[in-house]
C-alpha cells in the first residue's frame, strides 16, 4: 500500500447539514477504498512507503532518496528502563559511556542490550580481543598485502615468509631495496638506543644465531653471509667504534682471534730473469712457480696500505728480491731494509713483506733467507739444514749452495763444507756446474788431522767430479776457492756432491756450510 497523505475535517465554522452530509459521504467512500487497500496489503503481506512496488522479501519497504528512518533516541539509562523489551527491539543511545558502551544503535537479544559494534579492526584500536581468536589476516590460501598510497610495501605469504620490497620472499624475512638513489642509501638500518641503569649487563645491536643439527650432503651452519659486488668499490663490512672478536667475547685489540687464521694462496708463474711489476691480485699468500734458472722480482703491483704479503718460492731456483729497482714502477718497488741491498733466497723458501702507502713501497719484514746479496757485489749462501745422501755415487745438486751469476761477468768463489759421516768408508766427491760457455778454476782443500794427510783438488770443467776425497769418521772440513768467468749466458754456479763409495751409511753436509761469491768489478 502506498500512502501519500491523510484526510482531516475541514477547519473553520461548523458546516451546515447539507455540507456535513456531503462530507460524510466522501468519508464513507474513502474508508471503503482504504479498507480495500488494507485488504490488498494483507493479501500481499508487505507494505511499501514511498514505493508502489515494495520488495517481495520485505514486510515493510521504505523508499526515499531524501529522507531516512528515525528510531527512538534515548540515553543508556532510559534504554535500560524499557519494561519487558521484545527480542529484536532497536533503539539509538545518544550518550557515550565507554568503548564497550558507545553512542550507537542497540538491539535486545532476549537477555541484554547489545551495541552495533564493527568486528573489523578499528583505526583507533580494538578492545576485548582474544589472542589466537582475533587476528589480522586471511582465512583462505592467499597472501596478506600491506600498501601505502596504493603501492605494496610489505607482504606476508602463505608460506609465512615476510617480504619488504619484494612480493616473492624466499626466506622468513627478506628485504629488497631497489630503484635509483641520488644519495647514500641504507637498505636496512638496525639501531639500539636503549639505556640502562643496571650494572654489568650487555647490550647487543644485532644477534645472529644459526644453531642446531643440520643434516644432509653438506652439514654446515652459516651465521652470517655478506656479499658486496657490482660497485666500483665493494666493501663487505665496516666495523667502527669498537674491537672485533672472533671466537672471543673479550677482544683486547682491534681484531682479536681466539683460534687459527688461514689465508688462501694463489699462484704466480714467473719467468727466468727479471720479473717487473708482477700482479698478484688480492691474495696475501702467493706461490711463485715457473723459472728453471735463477730469477728476480723487482716490483709488485696492487699494493695498498697495510697489506701483508708472503711470497713462497716453490721452485728450486734462487730468487733475488731486488731493492729499489728502477725496472719496476716507483709505487711497485721493494725496500729490502737490508744494509747490503738485494736479498736472495733459495728454492723452497719464503719472504714476507708489507706495503707502506706513505712511502709507496713494499717493506720486507722477514725471510727464510739462505742467500744474501751485498750492494758491493758480494753474495753469501748458507745452508739452513743438514742434507744427506745414502747409497748413491750419483752427483746431486746441493739444495742451498748455489749462486746466480750474470752474463759476461767474473766472480771469485770461496766457501766451507762441514761434512760428517759416522764411518770413514763412504768418503765424498764434489763437483761444480756453471753456465754454458763459462770457464772455471776452483780448488778444494781438506786437512784431516785424524788421517794425517792433506788433500787438494782443482776442477776446471763443469760437472767434473773431484773423485774420492778421503774422509774419516766424524766431522771433516773442506775448503774451496776459485774463479768463474761467464760468456754471453747467465746462470748458476751450483755445487754438486755424492758418496765416493755407495754405502748405507749416510754422508752429510751439515747446516751452516756456506758459499760466497765476489763479483770482480
CB atoms within 10 A of CB 377: 14
CB atoms within 10 A of CB 273: 11
pLDDT of amino acid 339: 57
pLDDT of amino acid 17: 46
Q: What sign results for the dihedral spanned by CA atoms 102, 108, 113, 116?
A: negative
**What mean pLDDT do residues 313-325 have?**
90
Helix, strand, coil percent content, the chain, rounded in steps of 5: 5, 35, 60
Q: Are 442 and 463 in contact (CB under 8 A)?
A: no
Confidence band, pLDDT 50/70/90 cuts, at residue 31: low
Residues near 68 by Cβ (< 8 Å), separated by ≥ 6? Answer: none
pLDDT of amino acid 453: 56
Q: What percent of the chain has pLDDT over 90?
A: 50
Partnered with residue 453 across adjacent β-strands are 448
Kind of pairing, strands 73-74 and 90-93? parallel
330 DSSP 8-state letter = G
Phi, psi of 298 (to 5 degrees): -105, -15
Residues near 247 by Cβ (< 8 Å), separated by ≥ 6? Answer: 257, 258, 259
pLDDT of amino acid 14: 47
pLDDT of residue 117 exceeding 90? no
**What mean pLDDT do residues 16-40 have?**
51
121-165, pLDDT tens digit by residue? 777 787 778 888 888 889 899 999 999 999 999 999 999 999 999
Residues near 294 by Cβ (< 8 Å), separated by ≥ 6? Answer: 272, 317, 318, 319, 320, 404, 490, 491, 492
Domains of the chain: 1-65 (no CATH), 73-115 (no CATH), 144-169 (no CATH), 265-373 (no CATH), 378-519 (2.60.120)
**What mean pLDDT do residues 377-387 have?**
87
pLDDT of residue 15 exceeding 70? no
pLDDT of residue 66 exceeding 70? yes
521 DSSP 8-state letter = -
Distance (Å, whole) CA 296 – CA 334: 12
Q: Are 400 and 383 in contact (CB under 8 A)?
A: yes
180-219, pLDDT tens digit by residue? 888 888 888 888 888 877 777 888 888 888 887 777 666 7
70-92, pLDDT tens digit by residue? 999 999 999 999 999 999 999 99
Residue 66 exposed, middle or buried by CB count within 10 Å (0-12, 13-18, 19+): exposed
At 134 the three-state DSSP class reads: strand
Among 418, 471, 409, residue whose Cα is nearest residue 439: 409
Residues near 403 by Cβ (< 8 Å), separated by ≥ 6? Answer: 318, 371, 379, 381, 411, 413, 492, 493, 515, 517
Distance (Å, whole) CA 69 – CA 63: 10
List Cα–Cα distances, 28 to 23, 25, 272, 315, 332, in angstroms.
9, 5, 135, 132, 124
Confidence band, pLDDT 50/70/90 cuts, at residue 342: confident
Average pLDDT, the chain: 85
pLDDT of residue 405 exceeding 90? no
Amino acid at each position: 500500500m502506498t500512502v501519500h497523505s491523510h484526510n482531516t475535517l475541514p477547519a473553520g465554522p461548523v458546516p451546515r447539514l447539507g455540507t456535513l452530509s456531503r462530507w460524510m459521504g466522501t468519508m464513507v467512500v474513502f474508508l471503503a477504498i482504504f479498507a480495500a487497500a488494507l485488504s490488498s496489503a494483507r493479501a500481499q503481506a508487505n507494505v511499501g512507503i514511498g514505493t508502489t512496488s515494495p520488495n517481495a522479501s520485505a514486510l515493510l519497504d521504505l523508499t526515499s532518496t531524501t529522507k531516512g528512518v528515525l528510531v527512538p533516541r534515548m540515553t543508556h539509562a532510559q534504554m535500560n528502563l524499557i519494561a519487558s523489551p521484545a527480542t529484536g527491539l532497536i533503539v539509538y543511545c545518544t550518550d557515550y559511556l565507554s568503548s564497550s558502551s558507545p553512542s550507537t544503535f542497540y538491539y535486545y537479544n532476549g537477555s541484554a542490550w547489545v551495541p552495533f559494534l564493527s568486528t573489523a579492526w578499528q583505526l583507533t584500536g580494538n578492545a576485548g580481543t582474544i589472542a589466537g581468536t582475533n587476528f589480522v589476516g586471511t582465512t583462505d590460501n592467499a597472501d596478506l598485502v600491506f600498501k601505502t598510497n596504493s603501492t605494496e610495501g610489505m607482504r606476508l605469504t602463505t608460506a609465512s615468509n615476510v617480504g619488504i620490497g619484494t612480493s616473492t620472499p624466499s626466506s622468513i624475512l627478506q628485504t629488497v631495496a631497489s630503484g635509483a638513489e641520488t644519495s647514500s642509501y641504507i637498505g636496512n638500518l638496525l639501531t639500539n638506543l636503549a639505556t640502562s641503569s643496571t650494572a654489568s649487563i650487555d647490550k647487543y645491536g644485532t644477534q645472529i644465531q644459526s644453531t642446531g643439527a643440520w643434516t644432509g650432503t653438506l652439514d654446515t651452519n652459516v651465521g652470517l653471509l655478506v656479499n658486496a659486488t657490482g660497485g666500483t668499490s665493494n666493501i663487505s663490512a665496516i666495523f667502527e667504534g669498537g674491537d672485533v672478536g672472533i671466537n672471543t667475547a673479550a677482544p683486547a685489540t682491534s681484531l682479536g682471534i681466539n683460534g687459527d687464521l688461514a689465508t688462501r694462496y694463489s699462484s704466480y708463474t714467473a719467468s727466468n730473469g727479471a720479473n717487473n711489476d708482477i700482479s698478484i691480485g688480492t691474495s696475501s699468500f702467493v706461490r711463485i712457480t715457473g723459472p728453471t734458472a735463477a730469477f728476480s722480482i723487482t716490483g709488485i703491483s696492487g699494493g695498498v696500505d697495510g697489506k701483508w704479503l708472503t711470497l713462497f718460492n716453490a721452485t728450486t731456483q734462487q730468487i733475488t728480491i731486488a731493492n729499489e729497482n728502477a725496472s719496476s714502477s716507483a709505487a711497485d718497488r721493494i725496500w729490502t731494509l737490508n744494509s747490503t741491498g738485494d736479498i736472495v733466497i733459495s728454492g723452497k723458501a719464503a719472504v714476507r713483506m708489507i706495503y707502506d702507502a706513505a712511502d709507496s713501497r713494499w717493506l720486507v719484514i722477514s725471510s727464510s733467507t739462505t742467500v744474501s746479496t751485498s750492494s758491493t757485489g758480494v753474495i753469501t749462501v748458507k745452508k739452513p739444514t743438514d742434507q744427506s745422501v745414502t747409497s748413491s755415487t750419483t752427483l746431486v745438486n746441493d739444495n742451498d749452495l748455489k749462486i746466480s751469476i750474470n752474463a759476461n761477468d767474473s766472480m771469485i768463489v770461496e766457501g766451507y763444507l762441514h761434512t760428517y759421516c759416522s764411518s770413514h768408508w763412504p768418503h765424498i766427491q764434489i763437483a761444480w756446474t756453471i753456465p754454458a760457455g763459462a770457464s772455471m778454476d776452483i780448488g778444494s782443500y781438506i786437512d784431516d788431522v785424524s788421517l794425517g794427510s792433506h788433500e787438494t783438488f782443482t776442477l776446471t770443467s763443469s760437472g767434473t767430479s773431484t773423485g774420492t776425497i778421503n774422509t774419516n769418521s766424524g766431522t771433516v772440513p773442506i775448503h774451496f776457492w776459485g774463479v768463474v768467468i761467464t760468456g754471453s749466458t747467465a746462470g748458476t754456479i751450483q755445487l754438486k756432491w755424492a758418496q765416493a763409495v755407495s754405502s748405507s751409511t749416510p754422508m752429510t753436509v751439515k747446516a751452516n756450510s756456506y758459499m760466497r761469491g765476489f763479483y770482480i768489478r
